A and B are shown apart, each in its own frame.
Chain A
Amino acid sequence: MLRWIVWRDLTLAWRRRADMLSTVFFFVIVVSLFPLGIGPETQLLRSIAPGVVWVAALLASMLSLGRLFANDYQDGTLEQLLLTPQPLFMVVLGKVLAHWIVSEIPLVLIAPLVGLQFDLPRETLAILVLSLLVGTPVLSLIGSVGAALTLGLRGGGVLISILVLPLYIPALIFGAGAVEASIMGTTPAPHLYLLGAFAIVSLIFSPWATAAALRISVE
């Protein structure tokens, strides 16, 4: 069942590749603006890199979250999803997984490339990718709650940002913290562990919250 939802959403995303690409381009452009604006001061660039890349990832995921349920809501397929004989959190989990694959994995993959602009050493680039890999599921999971709550509202896009961005703060702190630790030459492990713990907590709670919010939104 989960497989079908993921497959469905991946097929839909593939048929609308432009949406996926716009998220990636947004991420690349936002990250690239900083070195261009600040100039070739490698010391400064290196110290702001973790925060800049992570904040850009948060903002980029805002772009794609609005579409997570909105398209299904408009054409009535969301109602049909709510009426399938399986727990609703499974449906949500499938959609979130598909969102992570479509919207977050490309960011993780392109991160080392944009990280090069900040003169980051190779080990740090690896930690950057690792921190994004552990942290981006949090963005999809918590973001899905916001997407479900703002479904069908006017100006939902802005509202999602206001609702969800504050909840991303722990992920931002630990994710950027891990990269920073690696730049400083200390071990990033504690940050990554805490980030992983945060990912697990959001995996446990957000599908239920999203399912409840969806039921309310469809009423």
Chain B
Amino acid sequence: MAESERSGATEVDLSRVISYIFGPVVAPTLLEVSKLGCVRGDRRLFSGLDLSIRAGTFLQVTGPNGSGKTSLLRILCGLLAPVEGQIKWQGENIRSLAEDYFTSVTYLGHRHGVKDELTAVENLRISNALNGIVVSKERAREVLGRMGLAGRESLPARLLSEGQRRRVALARLLTCNTKLWLLDEVMTSLDKGAMALVRSLIEEHLAGGGIAIVATHQDLELATGSSQRLELAT
């Protein structure tokens, strides 16, 4: 502590080291899942799922196709109602939080949620505006530039490639300002550079005390934060 007061430069590093070592102990539990069960059609995908996720945690959800990764993420964001069990966000059931819960969550699904007729800038600004965040045109350009879309901000999204459209969707992560990220197979159709970019976005998010739950087959190999792995079986 005394050392960290002496120089500003090492303070940042030290606090990161401390959160790295003690993070799992110190950080508050934000998301609690108890006895969660999911049934799709007449098939039970999983049951009795318990999770306790602290701030700054990265949770990778893996499992074979059809094991319920997407269903789990959709249940966690509130799109799908679980057949049993409950989910608590900061100690409160997400059912009773209703719309207030959505101010803390960003969900990106298989389908990007990018409108073909709108330009990249319009897509980013409108999706943020609907979440109550005003993004200026300049800020939107800057964010899209960071996502590697400089020069293509004013093209309708239908003229972009699949990977570029995915980048437009991912640009929301830079502006959304939410604690809980639920990312479903975000790495599909992304090139190496974009994957590294997503990795660094998640690392920044975790360092800021956020939670990222990612359903993916690839290993993300994050440098920071505490990583957990959830393997869903069929």
The reply to whether chain A is a binding partner of chain B is yes
Known interface pairs A4-B130, A11-B118, A81-B130. Does A75 touch B79 (Cβ–Cβ under 8 Å)?
A: no
A-B contact count (CB 8 A): 76
Q: Does B105 belong to the interface (CB within 8 Å)? A: yes
What per-residue 1/0 map shows which CB atoms of B125-146 lie under 8 Å from chain A? 0110111100000000000000
Known interface pairs A11-B118, A218-B79, A219-B79. Does A85 touch B113 (Cβ–Cβ under 8 Å)?
A: no
| Distance A85 CA – B103 CA, assembled complex (angstroms) | 6
Which residues A15-66 have CB closer than 8 A to chain B? Answer: 15-16
What per-residue 1/0 map shows which CB atoms of B11-41 lie under 8 Å from chain A? 0000000000000000000000000000000
What per-residue 1/0 map shows which CB atoms of A72-83 lie under 8 Å from chain B? 001111011111
Q: Does B42 belong to the interface (CB within 8 Å)? A: no
Q: Which size class do A's interface residues fall under?
A: 20 to 34
Asked if B109 contacts A85 (CB within 8 A), the reply is no
In the bound complex, residues from chain A placing their C-beta under 8 Å from that of B107 are: 79-80, 83
Minimal Cβ-Cβ distance residue in A for B114: A75
Q: Does A86 belong to the interface (CB within 8 Å)? A: yes
Asked if B130 contacts A76 (CB within 8 A), the reply is no
Q: Does A8 belong to the interface (CB within 8 Å)? A: yes
**How would you classify the secondary structure of chain B's contact residues: helix, strand, loop or mixed?**
loop
| Distance A79 CA – B182 CA, assembled complex (angstroms) | 13
Interface centre among B80, B107, B114, B130 (most CB of A within 10 A): B130
Known interface pairs A83-B79, A83-B107, A85-B132. Does A76 touch B122 (Cβ–Cβ under 8 Å)?
A: no
B183 to chain A, nearest CB (A): 13
In the bound complex, residues from chain A placing their C-beta under 8 Å from that of B77 are: 83
Asked if A4 contacts B129 (CB within 8 A), the reply is yes
| Distance A81 CA – B127 CA, assembled complex (angstroms) | 8
Asked if B109 contacts A87 (CB within 8 A), the reply is no
| Distance A60 CA – B136 CA, assembled complex (angstroms) | 39
In the bound complex, residues from chain B placing their C-beta under 8 Å from that of A80 are: 107, 113, 127, 130
**Residue in B109, B117, B132 whose CB lies within 8 Å of A12:** B117
B60 to chain A, nearest CB (A): 22
| Distance A81 CA – B109 CA, assembled complex (angstroms) | 13
The size of the chain B interface, using a CB distance under 8 A, is 29
| Distance A77 CA – B80 CA, assembled complex (angstroms) | 16
**How would you classify the secondary structure of chain A's contact residues: helix, strand, loop or mixed?**
helix
In the bound complex, residues from chain B placing their C-beta under 8 Å from that of A218 are: 79
A147 to chain B, nearest CB (A): 18
Which residues A194-219 have CB closer than 8 A to chain B? Answer: 218-219
Asked if B79 contacts A76 (CB within 8 A), the reply is no
Q: Does B219 belong to the interface (CB within 8 Å)? A: no
What per-residue 1/0 map shows which CB atoms of B49-81 lie under 8 Å from chain A? 000000000000000000000000000011111
Q: Does B115 belong to the interface (CB within 8 Å)? A: yes
In the bound complex, residues from chain A placing their C-beta under 8 Å from that of B156 are: 15
Q: Does B5 belong to the interface (CB within 8 Å)? A: no
| Distance A7 CA – B115 CA, assembled complex (angstroms) | 14
Q: Does A1 belong to the interface (CB within 8 Å)? A: yes
Q: Does A5 belong to the interface (CB within 8 Å)? A: yes
Asked if A83 contacts B105 (CB within 8 A), the reply is yes
Known interface pairs A11-B122, A79-B109. Does A85 touch B117 (Cβ–Cβ under 8 Å)?
A: no
Q: Does B112 belong to the interface (CB within 8 Å)? A: yes
Minimal Cβ-Cβ distance residue in A for B157: A75
Q: Does A186 belong to the interface (CB within 8 Å)? A: no
Which residues B119-178 have CB closer than 8 A to chain A? Answer: 122, 126-127, 129-132, 156
Minimal Cβ-Cβ distance residue in B for A76: B111
| Distance A33 CA – B100 CA, assembled complex (angstroms) | 53
| Distance A82 CA – B129 CA, assembled complex (angstroms) | 14
Given contacts A77-B113, A79-B111, 14 further A-B contacts (CB under 8 A): A1-B129, A11-B122, A12-B118, A74-B111, A75-B116, A76-B113, A77-B114, A77-B127, A83-B78, A85-B99, A85-B131, A85-B132, A86-B130, A91-B130
Residues of B within 8 A of A (CB): 77-81, 99-100, 102-103, 105, 107, 109-118, 122, 126-127, 129-132, 156
